[in-house]
Structure 1
Amino acid sequence: MARPRKPLLSRDRIAQAALALIDEEGLAALSTRRLAAELGVSGPSLYNHFATKEAILDAAADTVVAQVDLSMFDALAARAGGGRDGTGRDWRGALLAWGRSYRAALTDHPHIVPFLATGPGLRPAGLRMADAVFGGMVEAGWPAAQATRIGALMRYFVTGSALGSFAGGFVGDAAAYDPADYPHLGQAHLLPGHREQVDQGAFETGLRALVDGLALQYQELRTAGG
């Protein structure tokens, strides 16, 4: 039997095509008609794999989250007590590594970040990530309620940092920053040319400040708990 000219449809192929379309043109570009055309199939054939367009979007979003490394939380659980010696070493390193991997995945697919910012919903990779972070923090000695807050806090910070560029929000025209009006912005027109350096540096500064602040709270909990 001759092989089909076009690869057969699958949930993964549809999700990947949807993500590619969103990456190129934004969330508004995704429609079942447009996606079917990109895949070279009829629109109704998509519904053999997904009940709605929203389900396709969920799968595309989950494809991004699946790229985030979670192995650092497995290491915490395997250490029989993780950071419970009070040093905070293990869980701090886990949060730093996860935060960097999480942001890298989002900045590779910036157009889908606003959708991801709404939370994991019932998306498997998103739920696995939430489970790994919560479990890792509890294993390290955080109370369950605080572990939940830490997961939420990190998500707010990482998704917020990936939603846009601070440096990219300035224009490259020095004349736009008249020193009479903006005496401290004489170099602001140079920021767009250093976008990656500025934005990545800001993220690292904030991430370390956030984790260092949590370490102080962790020490307070340890002290209060005797």
Structure 2
Amino acid sequence: MPRPRQPLLNRRRIVDAARAIIDAEGLTALSTRRLAAELGVQGPSLYNHFATKGDILDAVADSVTATVDTSAFGALDWSAALRHWAHSYRRALAAHPHIVPYLAQGPGRRPAALAMADAVYGGLVRAGWPPARATHIGAALRYFVTGSALGSFARGFSDDPDLYLDHPHLRQAHRLAGHQHSVDEGAFVLGLDALLHGLAAEYDRIVGPALQTTDG
């Protein structure tokens, strides 16, 4: 028999196509009709692989989370592991900013998201953090990273210098958008450093400096 003109439909093709639509145009651009058209199939074909549009969104979100590197937990001390994870997490979200609001809702039943949460929590508990504190730390870092990926501080300012004439402390604010990467990256590094320094002091207080080694 002749080969089909389109590759056989599967979950991977559906997720890749849905993610491409979201990356290009945002969450509101995704519909099952639009997705089916992009794939060259009829809408009902999608439901052989996903029961609902929400399931497709979950799979797209999880495909982004799956790119986050959690391998430092168990290989580095807890602070270095958190730093490595936070940078990897931010890179993953920055590559797909339109899915961030959906990801921010929590892991739900998504396998990669649950695996990431398990790696972070497990690494912190193995390092000596009390379970409740490990939960707080994972949540705090997630809030910080997700917030940093929701938008650009620098890009939020207009490049019109006249806009700031009545704001004497913002006379150079029109230059911020032109330095977006350095401003936003610098803010992220500064905030992460502050969080980790504060956590190190908390660790010494409630666990003790003698356990500040590796997770293994």
TM range (shorter): over 0.9
1:12: how far off? 1.3
Q: Distance in 1 between matches of 2:20 and 2:116?
A: 23
Map 1:74-223 onto structure 2 (within 5 A).
74-75=74-75, 90-178=77-165, 181-223=166-208
CA contact (8 A) 2:203 2:209 kept: no
The normalised TM-score by structure 1 is: 0.91
1:126: how far off? 0.3
The normalised TM-score by structure 2 is: 0.95
1:172: how far off? 0.5
Q: Distance in 2 between matches of 1:74 and 1:30?
A: 39
Q: Distance in 2 between matches of 1:14 and 1:161?
A: 29
Q: Distance in 1 between matches of 2:137 and 2:196?
A: 10
1:73: how far off? 1.2
Match of 2:213 in 1: none
1:2: how far off? 2.4
Aligned length: 211
CA contact (8 A) 2:129 2:207 kept: no
Match of 1:80 in 2: none
Moved over 3 A (4+): none
Q: Which runs of 5+ in 2 are unaligned?
A: 211-216
Query: C-alpha offsets along residues 129-184 of structure 1, whole Å, 9 cap, x if unaligned?
Result: 00000000001110111111111111100000000110000001111110xx2111
Amino acid at match of 1:95: L
**Could you tell me the percent identity over the aligned residues?**
66
Q: Distance in 2 between matches of 1:27 and 1:165?
A: 18
Q: Distance in 1 between matches of 2:103 and 2:207?
A: 34
- Find the residue that maps to 2:9 and give its secondary structure: coil
- Find the residue that maps to 1:3 and give its secondary structure: coil
Amino acid at match of 1:2: P
Q: Distance in 2 between matches of 1:223 and 1:12?
A: 47
Q: Distance in 2 between matches of 1:194 and 1:210?
A: 24
